[in-house]
Amino acid sequence: MSLDVVKLFKSYYARNTVPPPSSIERREFAFSLFNSQGMFRHIAFSNGEEMNSFLREKVPQHAYYSTAYYSDPAAQDMDEKGWLGADLVFDIDVDHINTPCKVLHDTWRCRDCGAEGWGMVEKCPSCGSERLDRQTWVCDQCISVAREEILKLVDILEEDFGISRDEMYVAFSGHRGFHLHVENKLLAELDQEARRELADYVRGLGIDPDLYIVKARRGYVYRFKPDDPGWRGRIAKLLMLREEAGAELAREELRRLILECVAEARANIDEKVTMDVKRLIRLPGTLHGKTGLKVLKLTVQQLEAMDARSVLEKAIALPDEPVRVEMEKWPKRVLTSVFPDEADERTLPLYLAVYLALNGKARILGPA
């Protein structure tokens, strides 16, 4: 199986030219190779032609580049690279979000009592153990949730920080979500602490509802208007959609409504990625080694115009010729496909078979 995947990846890189990231000569690159342990990093290229020659020769399973800019990106010691700044990057991964579709494709099994089931659980509902084996998959409903999170983030960055969407681009990671990149010279100089504060802001952390309410005659009311800037106006807009918020309320009731609005409007990012000023991140245009899908670069406007199904279809880079696939426990929904009935063997397009096989749960039997 692995040799066939290498051949498919090799054919992809032979037929396609991967666009280089901006300021390629200042970026560090890193790669994981098929049938090889560890990551090969501290690699630098002068131009896109060099980078594509490497991809065609080495055929990596995973390809990354640094969000940071360095004076000497090939230096083996991180302290000798000469950090010059870093793009501001946000990561949204549905693996951390309990989407309603998880009961259709994710499974768990308790290592202690043997109980098993579908969906996302933090610990075994039978014995309380946290020692769980999990099998997780992604479908268009998952990606739709991640897409909504990215668009909420874009709105916050535009409205509250004045960052132009012309300085942003989105990358579908090829697996469970999206990365939002901001390339701005001033923001590139932000240190780790400043990026942490920004990450906390977009997640709505530290909002004290008591600072947003005021005493009225018979209770409490929200003190700000929808056209107020930042979280004050954002919460006001959402409160307008809640009938009960139009009246004077008990203090605790209004506090609860405000916190619900914050939870609805916040962007569910992975703060560790945003804080990391030396992050390696997937290279757009390359293939994800766990799915065979393309890391897809999009403008914000393109993402707005697409639904999740369109994103997944555009990320398909491998052939769709039919092949026979066997698998012990099939998800009921994966990518854009639905498997409502039980079966040991199915005929699937090759790209979907590769996705299932790269996760180690399916076996490709041959052409249909």
The residue-averaged pLDDT of 212-223 equals 94
Q: Residues 155, 200, 228, 270: which is the catalytic one?
A: 270
Query: How much is the pLDDT for 194?
Result: 98
Query: How much is the pLDDT for 243?
Result: 86
**Which long-range contacts does 180-185 make (Cβ < 8 Å, 24+ apart)?**
180/89, 180/90, 180/92, 180/150, 180/153, 180/154, 181/67, 181/87, 181/88, 181/89, 182/87, 182/88, 182/89, 182/157, 183/22, 183/87, 184/88, 185/85
Distance CA 264, CA 149 (A): 10
Say whether 93 is catalytic. Answer: yes
Query: Residue 47: how many CB atoms within 10 A of its CB?
Result: 10
The residue-averaged pLDDT of 195-200 equals 98
**pTM for the whole thing?**
0.92
Query: How much is the pLDDT for 342?
Result: 82
Res 211 pLDDT > 60: yes
Distance CA 329, CA 275 (A): 38
Query: How much is the pLDDT for 250?
Result: 96
Q: Which letter does DSSP use for residue 131 in this model?
A: -
Please write the tens of the pLDDT for every residue from 294-347.
Answer: 999 999 999 999 999 999 999 999 999 999 999 988 999 999 999 988 888 999
Query: How much is the pLDDT for 246?
Result: 80
Query: How much is the pLDDT for 223?
Result: 95
- Residue 334 φ/ψ, nearest 5 degrees: -155, 140
Angle at 363 between CA 360 and CA 364, to 5 degrees: 130
Say whether 4 is catalytic. Answer: no
Query: How much is the pLDDT for 54?
Result: 98
Res 40 pLDDT > 90: yes
Query: How much is the pLDDT for 247?
Result: 87
Res 185 pLDDT > 80: yes
Structure tokens at 330: 């099939």
Query: How much is the pLDDT for 1?
Result: 47
**Chain centroid, CA 100 distance in Å:** 17
Please write the tens of the pLDDT for every residue from 222-246.
Answer: 999 999 999 999 999 999 999 887 8
Please write the tens of the pLDDT for every residue from 89-105.
Answer: 999 999 878 898 999 99
Higher pLDDT, 15 or 362: 15
Say whether 91 is catalytic. Answer: yes
Structure tokens at 156: 């916050």
The residue-averaged pLDDT of 274-300 equals 97
Query: How much is the pLDDT for 97?
Result: 86
Q: Burial-class residue 367 by CB neighbours within 10 Å (0-12, 13-18, 19+).
A: exposed
- Residue 238 φ/ψ, nearest 5 degrees: -70, -35
Please write the tens of the pLDDT for every residue from 144-171.
Answer: 999 999 999 999 999 999 999 999 999 9
Q: Which letter does DSSP use for residue 66 in this model?
A: E
Query: How much is the pLDDT for 103?
Result: 92
Mean residue pLDDT of the chain comes to 95
Q: Residues 72, 87, 91, 208: which is the catalytic one?
A: 91
The residue-averaged pLDDT of 177-200 equals 97
- With beta carbons less than 8 A apart as the criterion, state whether 81 and 63 touch: no
Query: How much is the pLDDT for 2?
Result: 44
Query: How much is the pLDDT for 76?
Result: 96
Q: Residues 4, 72, 93, 95: which is the catalytic one?
A: 93
